[in-house]
Amino acid sequence: MPTSLVVLGIGMYDNDIKVSLIEFYDLIEFTLSFKFREKWKNLYSEKMIKLFQLKILQSFKAGKPLKKTSLLNYMVTKGKYKKEVIEDFFEMIDLELYRPFIS
């Protein structure tokens, strides 16, 4: 890598962070989209998916990350869904992709 780029603080690590941020932004944008609902509505209720989207949006507006357990409890309590159904949904959408926002 050219020395001038290193001096400016523009290195491979910075590019990795930028790529990661862009990928995470794309993930959140998709998660909040109509396409996300369309993708999962045949397996889960649209109401449940909207509840998930709402909680993600609220958390972003508040600037606070979510705990998986809090999200699970919210969806079980507010949506009256079985814990196993929510856990299955989390597994299907690969909730691990949302780390560190949802931990």
Where in the chain are the domains? 1-30, 32-103
The answer to whether the CB of 74 falls within 8 A of the CB of 86 is no
Confidence at 13, pLDDT banded by 50, 70, 90: low
Percentage of the chain beyond pLDDT 70 is 85
Cα 45 to chain center, whole Å? 19
State the average pLDDT for the chain: 86
Q: What values do phi and psi take at 58, rounded to 5?
A: -60, -40
Block residue for tokens 């996300």: 36
